[in-house]
Structure formats: C-alpha cells, structure tokens
Structure 1
Amino acid sequence: MPMADPDPQPVFDENFVKGATFTEPSAEERARRPGRRERLRARRTARRYRAEADPARGSRTAVVQVIAGVLALLAISTALWWFNRPEPITALRPPAGGPPAPAAGDPFAGSPAARYATGDEGITLPVPEALNGLSAAQLGLAYEQIKKMLVAGALDTNTVFGGKNDTFRALVDPAQLPDLKRDLDNPAAKGARAWVTTFAPGSAVQVGTAIKVHGASSARPARRQGRNGVLVKTDHNFVYAVREKPGSQQVLRVVQRWANEYFVYRDGATVKVWITRADSAAAPTSCQYGDALIHPDFTASGQGGQTTDPYNLSKPIDTAAGCQTALRT
C-alpha cells in the first residue's frame, strides 16, 4: 500500500491564478502622489518599524523618559521643601538691633535664655551605658553625683548669692577636698571661681527665682594614673536675672558658663568621681576686681577688648582672653 505524501503539493486552479494576477497601475495612478494625511501616516509607520527594528533606540527612549520623570519628582520635592522649610536657627546669632532690655516681669524674654530649661532640668548628662569596666548602674550613680555637684555649685542660691558652699563641699571626694579647701574657705580667692559661682556681696539681688540652664555632656573611656575609667565632660550656661539692689528698676542677665571634666573610676566596690578640670566665664561683669567673685556690670559700657557671645557654646572657653565685651546677654 503506497504511503501518503507527507508534504502534499498545493494545487492552483484557474480562478486562483486569475485572482493572483498582478495588474500594473495606469500612468495616471502612478502620477498621483499621496496626500498630506497619507504621508504623515506613512512616516509614523516608518518610525514605528524603525523603533521595533532597533531595540537600543527603544531602550534609550525609555531611559530618557525615566530621567525626565526623576527630574520632575525632584523639582516637586524641592518646591515642597522650600515652602515647608523650618525657620533658620538663630540661637547663636545676635538679632539685629540687639535683644530688648530685661524686665522684672519676664527677665529672660527676647534672649536665647527664654528657650532654656529652668534649674536642674537643663543639666544634661549622658545615658548610662557600661563603659571601660564600669557598669551602667555604676555610671548612673556617678552621673547623678556630677549633677548634684553642678546644682550645688551653680544653682544653690546659698552658694550663688549667699557665698556659702557647704553643700558643694560635702559632695567633693574626701580625698580631693584638701586640694579645694583653701579656695572654698575664701570665696573671693581666685581659685574659688573654678569650683562654685558666687556674686560679690552687695553686688546683685536675684530677680524672681528662675535660673535658666542649657548645655551638653559626653563620656568616653579614659585612663588616669594607672586606672581605667570614664572621662565625663560637661558644658553648660547658667543665666541669672539680677538687679543691683532691692527696688532698682534696671534688670540684668548674667551668663555664667561652666566647662568641667570629671574622671569616674572604681576603687574596689566604690565608684569615685574626681574633678580634673573646671573652666568658667561670666558676662557682663566688671573686670576691675581681681577676685573670683562675679561683679555684674550694670553700666552697659562694655569692658573693652574682644567681643564675645556668651550664648555660643560651640567654642571652648578662652581662659587667656582677659576682659571681653558681651555682644548680648
């Protein structure tokens, strides 16, 4: 039995042949040019086929479209940021014309101190974390001790306006106290300024009860005299509102800056806090006295020398600068 042809050949009948006959266009048809609409359609078709035949061209078009989209989003984001941007921080830049004069009703209004915390709430210390052989609990106790010392030396009114430093003295390590005792026994001694803040007797009366405080602190591993421990640095402004004497109308803000260093270490089971450095600066104060007491300058005449912004905590205290004129208080 013969096998069927696996590839049968097509059979063309007479009608198919007639229908497939090519008819040459007439001269009139050849002379007729396509209209504008046909030309545009032809160009679009040609461009489409070129794009399909050139994948790289299509990808380049896609990339351009993506870039354009990104640029558009950036432009929108920039516009939204511009209209919703926060006001610039001006805490360290004196306002034009200077701040308004302090008033007894609100002595800190118009100054950076108005945004400071009140009292010991403004004293910041690091979050206790285990460091260099001391546990978080041990450092927590040390930080609390440091805060108490700052409060006793710069916020206790008996110390600041009364010239007494018993509270601060009781917080100092007994082994270090003999080194400080000579200064603390005589608040007017030059060395006393390193440990406590005290206004000269009869030089100022506190206005209200608030003392404004602001600052920062840090802690890092350290080694001192063969002992491992933690070096704690504190840097704070204490702002006092004072008048020269009871009944005086003039009110003055005095800015006292404290930059201290403490070495915290273990002595057996006991945690020790040792004062290793204490720098301070006050403004506006009179420079004609050679003691360690604060003598507020109510004359507003300035003390000559370089100008300084006592609210600027970004620079270290220049202990060799001598008398300076405060830009603002």
Structure 2
Amino acid sequence: MPDEEWERFLRESVDGTPDAPREPSARARVVTRRLQESPGQPEGWRSYSPARPKRRKGWYAVGLLVVLALLAVAVAPDRVTGWFGGGDGGAGEPLAAESERPTGAPPGEPALRPTREEPFRGSPAARWANGTAGITVPPAKATGWMSTAQVKVALDRTGDFLAASSLDPAVLRGERPARAIALINPRQQDVKNFLSTAFRTPDEKNDPLMLFSRYDGKHVRPAGDDIRTRGRVSYTEGKDGALRVSTDVTYVYPFVRAEGGDEVARTIVRREVVLDWNDPAKVITEPGTFSLVSYSVDITNGGCGPATGLLSPRFGPGRPAGAGEGPELDPYDRSISMTDRMRNAGDEECGTATRS
C-alpha cells in the first residue's frame, strides 16, 4: 500500500467517516424492539390520546335503560332497593356517635319487612352500632369528690351495668342479672325491696323490665346475635359532691317465634337510668357500687297487659306497629326526653307506635 493511502487509512480510523453507521443508544434499542414486537402506532412518552367520542346512538340506549329502571322502581321497589345495597332499608354509612340530644326523629325508611338475614331492615337501627359500641361515653375529668382516674373507673362500671342489664345473653334468656345487681348499692332499702318483689311477683309497680331486658323464651328467641343500640352517657356533680351519671339508651331486639318461622318482630326498649357514685365519707355505700336515683322505660311491642317481667312481642300479618289506644309515638325519636315521653303517653296502658 502506498504511503499516502496508509496515512489516509490511519486518519479515517481515528476521525471516522461522515457516512459511517452509529451504534444506537440502549434506550433506542429498547424502543426499536418494542416497535417491532407491538403492531400499531405507540403513544409517545408522557403523551395522552383522548378516547374517540361515542356515536350519538349510544344516548338512546342509555335513555331506554333509565326508563326501564324507573318502571322497575314503580313495580317492585323492594327488589330494586336491594340491587344497590339497600336491602336493610337503612343501608348506608353507620351513624356518627350521639354526643348530644338529637333535634328531631330519624328520617323515614322504606317500608321493607325485616328478615332473618336482615332483622333491622326497614328500620333506623340498620345504621346503628351493635352492643355497647352504640353508647357514647364522654372523656373523664375530675368531678365532685372524684379524681379523673376515679371518674374513668366509675364510667367504665356504669357501662358494665348497661351491658349486664340489657345486653347479656343469659339475662335476656331470663336468668337473674347477678352481675348488674352487684353494682347497685345494697344499702338502698327501697331498691332492695323493688328487686326482691320484681323477680318474685312482678307487677306494674315492681317490674324488672324497668331496669333489665328479659324475653319470654317459651314464645320467642333472638333473630341473630346483634342488638342495635343508640344512646349516650353524661355526668355532672350531684348532691354532696357525688358523681351523678345519666344514661339514655335505646335498644332494638329482633325476635322470631320459638317454634320456628321466618317472621321477625322487633322490640324497642328505651331506658333512662340516673345514678350516683357517692362519696363514702358522706353517704353509706359499698365500695364499687352506685346508688340509683331514678329509672324509667318505654317499650314498643314488648307486650301489653298485666306485667310479667318478660318481653313478649307480637307476630302476625295483622300486627300493628304498636298495639294500644294511647297517642302515637315514634320509638326511634330520641329528641324527646323520657319525661316528656311519659307525659305524652298519659295514663294509657299501651300507646301506639308509628313504626317498629
């Protein structure tokens, strides 16, 4: 090879020729391979391709579906409600805790009959919490003769009483509420006499249902394990520096017949119990017990007639929401105090409930 050709070869080897092919970058290789493997035009990086607008004839299909849906609601509202998760008649988000007295009654619910699978269907209780979770207890703070820690213990034991008196399965079946009674000051002679008479020979004046929930197991049994509740506990300083605790709770019990069947009947019990955690230096009491100040109860579909000490709900196609001759009352209306409710009920033995 001549010397000038050799020099040109060495020069081009270092500088390269203008039309020599370049080695693609790593990213270029990946993109090229994807383009070869994926047919069609790919979208660019960080790009967006809007969907094609649908043809106008699709709106006619939507309109037809809307018409059919409205027709279904008119013909069979019960079934259509279930399509959208409303089978319990009160479906939706659980209600927030009740921190103060409501300003009005809960809104009306679709007229849906309860079932064994959904015993609270068609009732405001469908959105209530179960058991003690539905009872709001305020934070503790020093009150009267009690420190903050002592108030906390007193509120906890008050909650234990509510659970033992109205939610305990054994007590509901009719057993003696021993745990609940153990929290009541045994030095209260009038209460002691009441309890003795109420469980031995219940009557209108001495009825255990004033404080305890018990059903007639010969005729009914619970429709499931849930007992829906809504209520609150509050406290203030009472006489002689006592911690006065007020409880106002509504309990909803679903029942079925003891001999079987699918019909569900709900019994609604609202109780207001006021109690004092007394200063032992000023009031004779037993440690860890409270003194009852007052107690009242309003029962819907628990049985009308002579007191038996047991809840006896009525069944049957002709069963009204509430059987009675008194004024109409909404058992779910917690905006009315128990004092006003008793006043509105008058002297009638049984009122008429607007819903169950």
TM range (shorter): 0.5 to 0.7
Deviations 1:155-205 (A, max 9, x none): 011111234322222222232363443145327444222221112342311
Deviation of 1:276 after TM superposition, in Å, equals: 1.0
1:327 corresponds to which letter in structure 2?
T
Shift of 1:240: 0.7
Q: Which residue of 1 aligns with 2:315?
A: 298
Provide the rounded CA distance (Å) in 2 between the counterparts of 1:116 and 1:142: 25
Structure with higher Rg: it is 1
Q: Distance in 2 between matches of 1:319 and 1:163?
A: 29
**Is the Cα contact below 8 Å between 1:310 and 1:326 reproduced in 2?**
yes
Distance 2:148 2:201 in 1: 36
Who is 1:315 aligned against? 336
* Greater strand fraction, Structure 1 or Structure 2: 1
| Deviation, structure 1 residue 310 | 0.6
> Are the aligned partners of 1:99 and 1:328 in contact in 2 as well (CA < 8 Å)?
no
Structure 1 Cα separation of the partners of residues 153 and 193 of structure 2: 24
Partner amino acid, structure 1, of 2:266: R
CA distance in 2, matches of 1:292, 1:162: 9
Distance 2:223 2:288 in 1: 39
| Aligned mates of 1:93, 1:107 — CA distance in 2 | 18
Q: Within 5 A, what are the aligned runs for 1:165-314? A: 165-176=177-188, 178-186=192-200, 188-190=202-204, 191=206, 192-223=208-239, 227-268=240-281, 270=287, 272-299=289-316, 300-301=319-320, 302-314=323-335
Query: How far 1:112 moved relative to its partner?
Result: 0.9
How far residue 125 of structure 1 moved from its aligned partner, in angstroms, is: 2.2
Structure 2 residue runs of 5 or longer lacking an equivalent are: 1-101
Mean alpha-carbon deviation: is it higher for 141-150 or for 281-290? 281-290
TM value normalised by structure 1? 0.66
Superposition pairs of residues 71-110 of structure 1, within 5 angstroms: 92-93=105-106, 95=108, 99-110=111-122
**For each residue in 1:24-51, what CA deviation from the matched residue of structure 2 results, as whole angstroms up to 9, or x when unmatched?**
xxxxxxxxxxxxxxxxxxxxxxxxxxxx
Matched with 1:136 is 148
| Residues 187, 140 of structure 1: alpha-carbon distance in 2 compared, 3 angstrom cutoff | farther
Q: CA separation in 2, counterparts of 1:199 and 1:91? A: 30
- The runs of 5 or more residues in structure 1 that have no matched partner are 1-88
Equivalent pairs counted in the alignment come to 237
Amino acid at match of 2:325: G
Runs of 4+ in structure 1 deviating by more than 4 angstroms, as ranges, are 268-272
Alignment partners' CA distance in 2, 1:208 and 1:241: 8
Q: Distance in 2 between matches of 1:157 and 1:90?
A: 33
- TM-aligned CA deviation for residue 288 of structure 1: 2.4
Cα distance in 2 between the residues matched to 1:99 and 1:276: 40
> Sequence identity, in percent?
24
Determine if contact 1:254/1:283 at 8 Å carries over to the other structure.
yes
* Equivalent residues of 2:104, 2:334 under 8 A apart: no
1 CA distance for matches of 2:115 and 2:331? 20
**Distance in 1 (alpha carbons) for counterparts of 2:287 and 2:180:** 20
- Pair 1:90–1:179, CA change in 2 (3 A): closer
Distance 2:330 2:219 in 1: 23
Partner SS, residue 267 of structure 1: coil
C-alpha contact 2:183 2:289 (8 A) present in aligned 1: no
Aligned-partner SS, 2:278 = strand
SS at match of 1:130: coil
Q: Deviations over 1:195-225 (max 9, x none)?
A: 21112342311011111111022111111xx
- Residues 147 and 184 (structure 1 numbering): CA distance in 2 closer, same or farther, change over 3 Å? farther
Letter matched to residue 120 of structure 2? F
